[in-house]
Structure 1
Amino acid sequence: MSPPFGLEPMSSQAAEISVGYTMFHWGLSGWATYAMAAVIIAFYYFVKKIPNLRISVACGFTKENGKEKFGKIVDTFVIIGLSAGVAVSAAIGTPMISQGLYHLFGIVPSLVGNIIIALFLAFLFGASAISGINKGVKFLSNFNSIIALGFILYVALAGSTSFIANNAANSLGVMLQNFSYMSFYTDPINKSGFPQNWTVFYWAWWISYVPIMGLFIAKISRGRTIRQVAVSTTIMGSVGSWLFQTVLGGYGIDKQLSGSVDTIGKLQAGGDYEAIIALLNSLPFGNIVIFAFIIITFIFLTTTCDSSAYILASIATKDITDDMDPSKFCRLLWSIAIIAWPIVLLIVGGIDAAKLCSVLGSIPILFIFYKMIRNFLKDVRKYIDSD
């Protein structure tokens, strides 16, 4: 409808580039950012043997060099940035669940309904947070991974499998061919706002998750080399995202081009969420597919908020070591705090407010990340020289 590069709206060129651009937004650049953060955090955690690692430590702000006060400021901004990223996820996901419930049970979407869903979400991931990472989060993550992979396989087989496969290969080529152009595209001539509305927003959202993803990937990377962490995170993370984007995106484009589902018409008449539900309903056993989609979305939001609450509680807990968990009360407190923000966003402005929140929350993280990189390069050179 509003393609980049000055392409004509609703043209075949716009359709051809659409999934490729989605792969760009959810691909190599974002995952490389997480890989970089993970390598830096893992260096201090495993090589420098700092057990109570916080992002401020990776920036070089410690008691030993008298910069602990700066470290507290950094950790505060990390908390704000991470909370903003989680708030965006919940603020976008909650109305989607609401639309699915409307289709299945006739519950009319409303602000009150969205708030009730958010509160139930808070109750679920609050209970999961109290049970701990190795129980609640691990069980939900494993369970949801199986459902999600089954869901995406079903869409690939129930839809036009040959078109989805061909479009996926073509989209990969489009993305790789235009990667540099997409990375620096600001559209100064046509001034369509495409890179600002999409690329800037997505990358701000990615950056807000740098602390939690860096800590998570670092913690599971014991015994790996820098090359292994960087390559596996960047490539496998991208491939995992592309699997969903190419299958769901390819299915949607096929239905639109064939005329069997007017997704664009649904989008213009009822908005994003109604178009998504209409598209899923076009699959065989549509109601079952939508129900599975609601469950997947709900659990993904739960595990995202749950793990974020755990990380936030760890950052906010004084003198915590690697073999300790933050207190249950602290985890529950952060679970409540995390869900309060998206409720406010739903009240004041929905997705537009969520986008602004994501961009603003990521700005301090960007400067903190830059400091992490500089401090890492300095310390790793000292480490190599000492060897």
Structure 2
Amino acid sequence: MHLDLRQTLKNAPWTLIVSLAIMAGFVVMGARMPEQLAEGAGRVLEFTTSHFGWLYLFATTGFLIFCVGVGFSVYGRIRLGADGEAPEFPYPTWLGMIFSAGMGVGLVFWGVAEPMSHYVASPLGMAEPRSAEAAELGMQYSFFHWGFHQWANFGVVGLAIAYARFRLGRPGLISETFRASLGDRVDGPAGYAINTLAVLSTVFGVATTLGLGIIQINSGLGTVAGVGFGLDNQLAILAGIAVIFLLASLTPLEAGIRWISDANMLLAGLVLVFVFFAGPTDFITAVLTNALGDYFANLIGMSLVMEPYTGEDWVERWTIFYWAWGLAWAPFVGSFIARISRGRTVREFVLGVIGVPVLLSMVWFATFGGSALYFELFENAGLADAVSTEMSSALFRMLELLPAAGVLGIAVLVLIVLFVITSANSATFVLGMFTSNGRLNPGRPTRLTWGVVTVLVTGVLLVSGGLGALQTISIIAAFPFMVLMIFMATSLLRAFRDEQRQQELHEALLRERLQRLLEEHDAQRRDQGANGDDGDPEVPGAASDGRN
């Protein structure tokens, strides 16, 4: 183990060295000066959202337009692999893995918390708080924040990596997606810088998810076992979770991640079906139908809305946070989706990534958020007050209103723990790949190192301000990678265009060659006719010899 670690460090690429140095500095500063870190991050956040908040909205909307555009254009026929290569996974299995990669703790945490938060304080002040109109807007914006825009972030990165890896035969690195624009410069400092930004973005994105999961596990333990809610308990929970997923990171990928992922998807499906039928089923289906209509009817307006006339910060606290979180999560989720998408066409990829998972996410929000709104509107359950006091408690307070609440609460708590472990374990694998020159199976020391770093960053963020610090650092860390993604999409479009031109040139040369052969054949027939030959080749056995 020690020899492996020394060899790893000796042969470490610049991406690993620089990334670890930056994260070490962040952890030391956060541990020694948490208040100063929080204050400094707040100033950077204010500067970023004040001057570049519009860019988050335009960029994320642009990524959605890009995915739909290339998917339904002539480029949609391009295969992410060799021509004629069959997909690696069956379609249902592929879709299930995509959904599990992008779902995780986020939907479990926000499934009740977001609709109820918007019910308490209406989005953009467009409705009276705690009214039916506020409830409707809450579901509309929940669908928006977990809809096509979020998955388009994953789609751009995943499509670019899958094309570079399986179509062009390049390593699975973020820098390789820029080769069409930068050429061999991606093999030098420019490539190191791109991959380092991807690593930093992924670490903070995963740390945000871990932090949200730890906070909600703390709330769940308070409901199930009477554990107090606070920083000390959250750090203890983080330590316990860390031991489990760090041990899992030392096992082979199939033995560590796969069975945990299968278990949490099965449990998530069972919990979803139970809540759908045990809860207000008719209300849930009506909410789903209504919110889908509101979402599609207001998609453009919600995509580009800001608050210049009021000076409020609702867009920054919600929409921009979500887009930044998705952008920070994109290198990890995109890399995973790319790895399982070999053999798919670009069109299949787009439909699979920003189509089916979005519909499943909407069913989740309609089921959990819709149930919470029903109990609050018609049974005065007090969930709005619970959300105002402690946002992470919303889910477990709602579950107490359903049959078999005790068993259901334990099941959901286990589900959150499994999702946290899966996300952290998978992220250490991807981070190891990014910092090992794209190796499909990075070494255990590298994966273990990134697991420890991720845990330390999560702990620093919890100490520095909990949920607020998690949201702040996500928005800040995502900004440079968002700029990279803009150039990534441009480079990918250029690569598609170059391949299409080569294909068209190849087809033109074939047509020219065929035309030349036809002309030579016609000339030969004319020469044969001039010599008294009818030009028809003699067919053996065609002349009758009287025996027929």
Question: What's the TM-score bracket when you normalise by the shorter of the two chains?
Answer: over 0.9
1:4–1:192 CA contact under 8 A, matched in 2 = no
What's 2:435 paired with? 316
Determine helix, strand or coil for the equivalent of 1:97. helix
Deviations 1:140-178 (A, max 9, x none): 010110100100111111111100111111011111111
Question: Does 2:491 correspond to 1:375?
Answer: yes
What's 1:334 paired with? 450
Following the alignment from structure 1 to structure 2, what is the Cα–Cα distance between the partners of residues 62 and 317?
21
Deviations 1:83-112 (A, max 9, x none): 111111111111211121122222222312
| Residue type of the alignment partner of 2:156 | M
Question: Does 2:295 correspond to 1:179?
Answer: no
Determine helix, strand or coil for the equivalent of 2:235. helix
What's 1:286 paired with? 405
Deviations 1:171-202 (A, max 9, x none): 11111111111101113334442211100000
Following the alignment from structure 1 to structure 2, what is the Cα–Cα distance between the partners of residues 358 and 135?
31
Tell me the TM-score normalised to structure 2 length: 0.68
| Residue type of the alignment partner of 1:39 | L
| Residue type of the alignment partner of 2:415 | I
Structure 2, gaps ≥5 residues long: 1-119, 504-548
What's 2:467 paired with? 351
| Residue type of the alignment partner of 2:490 | R
Structure 1, gaps ≥5 residues long: none
1:81–1:361 CA contact under 8 A, matched in 2 = yes
What's 1:109 paired with? 229
Tell me the TM-score normalised to structure 1 length: 0.95
Question: 1:19 deviation in Å?
Answer: 1.1
Question: Does 2:414 correspond to 1:295?
Answer: yes
What's 2:12 paired with? none
Following the alignment from structure 1 to structure 2, what is the Cα–Cα distance between the partners of residues 47 and 267?
48
| Residue type of the alignment partner of 2:475 | V
Question: 1:59 deviation in Å?
Answer: 1.9
Following the alignment from structure 1 to structure 2, what is the Cα–Cα distance between the partners of residues 149 and 222?
26
Following the alignment from structure 1 to structure 2, what is the Cα–Cα distance between the partners of residues 274 and 381?
50
Question: Does 2:344 correspond to 1:228?
Answer: no
What's 2:77 paired with? none
Following the alignment from structure 1 to structure 2, what is the Cα–Cα distance between the partners of residues 77 and 162?
47
Question: Does 2:148 correspond to 1:32?
Answer: no
Question: 1:63 deviation in Å?
Answer: 8.4
What's 1:133 paired with? 253
Which is bigger in relative contact order (C-alpha 8 A, separation at least 6)? Answer: 1
Identity of aligned residues (%): 25
Following the alignment from structure 1 to structure 2, what is the Cα–Cα distance between the partners of residues 167 and 239?
14
Following the alignment from structure 1 to structure 2, what is the Cα–Cα distance between the partners of residues 66 and 312?
19
Determine helix, strand or coil for the equivalent of 1:108. coil
| Residue type of the alignment partner of 2:276 | A
Task: Work out which of the residue numbers 163, 169, 172 in structure 2 matches 1:43.
Answer: 163
| Residue type of the alignment partner of 2:314 | F
Following the alignment from structure 1 to structure 2, what is the Cα–Cα distance between the partners of residues 274 and 47?
46
1:83–1:338 CA contact under 8 A, matched in 2 = yes
Deviations 1:200-220 (A, max 9, x none): 000000011111122111111
Question: Does 2:381 correspond to 1:261?
Answer: yes
Following the alignment from structure 1 to structure 2, what is the Cα–Cα distance between the partners of residues 24 and 68?
40
Determine helix, strand or coil for the equivalent of 1:187. coil
What's 2:423 paired with? 304
What's 1:154 paired with? 274
1:36–1:230 CA contact under 8 A, matched in 2 = no
Following the alignment from structure 2 to structure 1, what is the Cα–Cα distance between the partners of residues 346 and 494?
16
Task: Work out which of the residue numbers 451, 461, 479 in structure 2 matches 1:363.
Answer: 479
| Residue type of the alignment partner of 2:387 | L
Determine helix, strand or coil for the equivalent of 2:123. coil
| Residue type of the alignment partner of 1:338 | T
1:62–1:68 CA contact under 8 A, matched in 2 = no
Following the alignment from structure 2 to structure 1, what is the Cα–Cα distance between the partners of residues 314 and 272?
28
Determine helix, strand or coil for the equivalent of 2:250. helix
Question: Does 2:320 correspond to 1:168?
Answer: no
What's 1:59 paired with? 178
- The runs of at least 4 consecutive aligned structure 1 residues that moved more than 6 Å come to none
| Residue type of the alignment partner of 1:72 | Y
Deviations 1:47-94 (A, max 9, x none): 1111x2210111228883475111111111111101111111111111
Question: 1:358 deviation in Å?
Answer: 0.4
What's 2:501 paired with? 385
Deviations 1:249-272 (A, max 9, x none): 10000000013411112223x311
Does the C-alpha gap of structure 1 residues 188 and 11 become closer, same or farther in structure 2, counting only changes over 3 Å?
farther
Task: Work out which of the residue numbers 191, 211, 228 in structure 1 matches 2:331.
Answer: 211
Question: Does 2:135 correspond to 1:15?
Answer: yes
| Residue type of the alignment partner of 1:201 | F
What's 2:122 paired with? 3
Does the C-alpha gap of structure 1 residues 275 and 373 become closer, same or farther in structure 2, counting only changes over 3 Å?
closer
Deviations 1:97-131 (A, max 9, x none): 11211222222223121111111111111122111
Following the alignment from structure 1 to structure 2, what is the Cα–Cα distance between the partners of residues 224 and 306?
26
What's 2:390 paired with? 271
| Residue type of the alignment partner of 2:299 | F
Does the C-alpha gap of structure 1 residues 66 and 79 become closer, same or farther in structure 2, counting only changes over 3 Å?
closer
| Residue type of the alignment partner of 1:377 | L
| Residue type of the alignment partner of 1:301 | V
Following the alignment from structure 2 to structure 1, what is the Cα–Cα distance between the partners of residues 382 and 247?
41
Question: Does 2:193 correspond to 1:73?
Answer: yes
Following the alignment from structure 1 to structure 2, what is the Cα–Cα distance between the partners of residues 9 and 172?
22
Question: 1:379 deviation in Å?
Answer: 2.1
Following the alignment from structure 2 to structure 1, what is the Cα–Cα distance between the partners of residues 185 and 233?
51
The structure that has the greater radius of gyration is 2
What's 2:529 paired with? none
